[in-house]
């Protein structure tokens, strides 16, 4: 069975981001864009995505799909399950594009529009099958940020919308279905309000572009990133909650604090003022450098949220659980017919925040990878969360790591685990960390089974011991791996 196919019509920043999101989730992507530079531009976006996206989850993403460029819309949409339109924001161009798409595409394919300004009823005007078209408005970078505003009309059936949102969710998106169509949807209305106020603050000489950005990124922007608007204000209300906050700050709504009902004249002078301040603020970096800085920051923040199972991090955990269930590392020993070779216990990418000043994976993360491999093997033999909750576990008593080669951000790594011995309370593991066939490191670990109530060594349960002994007996026939028993400083 082949990969699902997505078509991307328009390969700019947003279209390229869509292509990267589909590709890195195992879809084949077919692109149409008449721009002769489209392949280069999409390639640069994809390079950033390959570097950053895999590190969001702690299991490996599906094998990357196939990317092809096509000279016609008809060629691009052939066989596509999802067709994403990201052409310029001109309604006539969009109508012409939809007519070409619907002339050849599958009747049940989803046609999503990346539009930030048009309502779906406007997009559906004159369409052969209006119920096939929805707004699917993403946020840049599309390959990292999970929000997609899904805006339908009455022409879109509930089953069609549910199917479209299931596809988006499978790729780690959060589809926010907009209840009623409205100009600029939901999120961009907030952005427009903040943007207008910022223009006034600059125009009136109250703040520079950099000072306004600092006010956001050092203050409420961080709060909004993890808790949104209303929940943030609920917390601000203290123990009395949202009612207290509304009572305390509600009267300020009638004060002349903002100019949101007034728009500054968009003169050349204002444009030059904004552009000059922005150049002074950020001109030392190229756009590609700013994108990579942005991606570094987003991955680090989202992984922090992932550790707390909160906000965007909770969405990544849900996607990771689905990926892990389909991975060999999620299989238990009692479900495996053959355990005679070293077992795959980790399969993932090196995230951006795992690298050090030398640009490769930090020493601490080598230990984390091997610790994760040990945890996964424990789970495979039945020492899982339920078992640990009942009072039994394995504690590491001794560890030795050899650093053989370096791992860079984005590298897909795998750990294969050999059981050197496993009997009674003792478990002796040897992990080998690879990128492809290249050995990066080895970890030798000796563990003891412990009663968590007494915190003393104890015998494991019969099923756990049986699973461990089964693997140990099978691995006894394997050659002793290179590096076993090494002491620090020994010559090879």
Terminal-to-terminal C-alpha distance of the chain: 47
CA distance 162 to 166: 6
Instruction: Tell how strand 147-151 and strand 133-137 pair up.
Output: antiparallel
Radius of gyration, alpha carbons of the chain: 27
**276-281 contact pairs (CB < 8 A, 24+):** 277/202, 277/208, 277/209, 277/210, 278/209, 280/210, 281/208, 281/209, 281/210, 281/213
Q: For residues 52 and 93, is the Cβ–Cβ distance under 8 A?
A: no
Is 11 annotated among the ligand-binding residues? yes
Is 15 annotated among the ligand-binding residues? yes
Candidates 141, 137, 138, 411; CA nearest to 294 is 141
CA distance 22 to 433: 28
* CB burial string 231-253: b at 16+ within 10 A, e below: eebbeebeeeeeeebeeeeeeee
Is 117 annotated among the ligand-binding residues? no
One DSSP character per residue, 151-193 reads E--TTS-HHHHHHHHHHHHHTT-EEEE-SS--TTTTHHHHHHH
The DSSP 8-state label assigned to residue 218 in this structure reads I
Is 14 annotated among the ligand-binding residues? yes
SS3 per residue for 454-466 = CCEECCCCHHHHH
Residues in the chain: 492
Is 205 annotated among the ligand-binding residues? no
CA distance 209 to 207: 7
What dihedral angle (degrees, nearest 10) is formed by the CA atoms of 152, 157, 158, 162? -70
Residue 189 token pair: 């209305």
Is 485 annotated among the ligand-binding residues? no
107 by Cβ neighbours in 10 Å (0-12 / 13-18 / 19+) ranks as exposed
Annotated binding site for NAD(+): 10-15
Annotated binding site: 10-15
């Amino acid at each position: 069975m082949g990969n699902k196919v997505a078509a991307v019509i328009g390969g700019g920043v947003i279209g390229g981001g869509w292509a990267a999101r589909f590709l890195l989730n195992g879809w084949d992507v077919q692109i149409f864009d008449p721009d002769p530079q489209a392949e280069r531009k999409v390639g640069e976006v994809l390079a950033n995505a390959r570097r950053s996206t895999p590190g969001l989850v702690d299991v490996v993403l599906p094998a990357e799909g196939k990317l092809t460029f096509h000279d016609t819309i008809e060629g691009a949409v052939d066989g596509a399950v999802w067709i994403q339109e990201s052409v310029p924001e001109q309604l006539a161009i969009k109508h012409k594009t939809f007519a070409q798409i619907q002339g050849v595409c599958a009747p049940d394919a989803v046609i999503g529009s990346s539009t930030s300004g048009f309502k779906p009823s406007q997009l559906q005007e004159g369409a052969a099958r209006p119920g096939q078209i929805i707004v699917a408005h993403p946020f840049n970078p599309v390959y990292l940020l999970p929000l997609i505003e899904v805006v339908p009309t009455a022409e879109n059936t509930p089953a069609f919308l549910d199917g479209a949102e299931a596809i988006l969710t499978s790729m780690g998106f959060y589809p926010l279905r907009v209840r009623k169509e409205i100009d600029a949807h939901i999120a961009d209305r907030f952005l427009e309000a903040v943007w207008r106020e910022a223009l006034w603050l600059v125009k009136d000489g109250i703040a520079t572009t950099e000072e306004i950005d600092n006010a956001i990124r050092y203050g409420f922007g961080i709060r909004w990133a993890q808790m949104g608007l209303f929940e943030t204000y609920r917390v601000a209300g203290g123990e009395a909650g949202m009612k207290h906050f509304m009572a305390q700050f509600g009267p300020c709504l009638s004060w002349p604090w903002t100019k949101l009902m007034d728009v500054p004249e968009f003169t050349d002078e204002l444009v030059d003022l904004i552009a000059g301040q922005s150049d002074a603020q950020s001109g030392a970096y190229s756009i590609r450098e700013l994108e990579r800085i942005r991606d570094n920051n987003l991955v680090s923040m989202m992984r922090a949220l992932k550790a707390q199972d909160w906000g965007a991090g909770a969405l990544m955990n849900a996607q990771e659980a689905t990926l892990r269930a389909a991975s060999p590392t999620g299989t238990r020993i009692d479900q495996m017919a053959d355990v005679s070779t070293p077992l795959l216990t980790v399969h993932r990418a090196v995230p951006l925040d795992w690298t050090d000043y030398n640009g490769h994976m930090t020493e601490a993360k080598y230990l984390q990878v091997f610790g994760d491999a040990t945890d996964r093997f424990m789970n495979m033999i039945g020492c899982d969360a339920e078992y640990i909750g009942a009072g039994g576990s394995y504690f590491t008593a001794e560890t030795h790591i050899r650093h053989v080669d370096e791992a860079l951000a984005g590298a897909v790594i795998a750990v294969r685990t050999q059981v050197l011995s496993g009997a009674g309370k003792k478990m002796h593991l040897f992990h080998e960390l690879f990128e492809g066939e290249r050995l990066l490191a080895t970890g030798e670990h000796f563990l003891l089974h412990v009663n968590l109530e007494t915190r003393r060594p104890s015998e494991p349960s019969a099923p756990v011991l049986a699973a461990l002994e089964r693997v140990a007996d099978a691995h006894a026939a394997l050659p002793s791996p290179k590096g076993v028993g090494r002491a620090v400083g020994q010559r090879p």
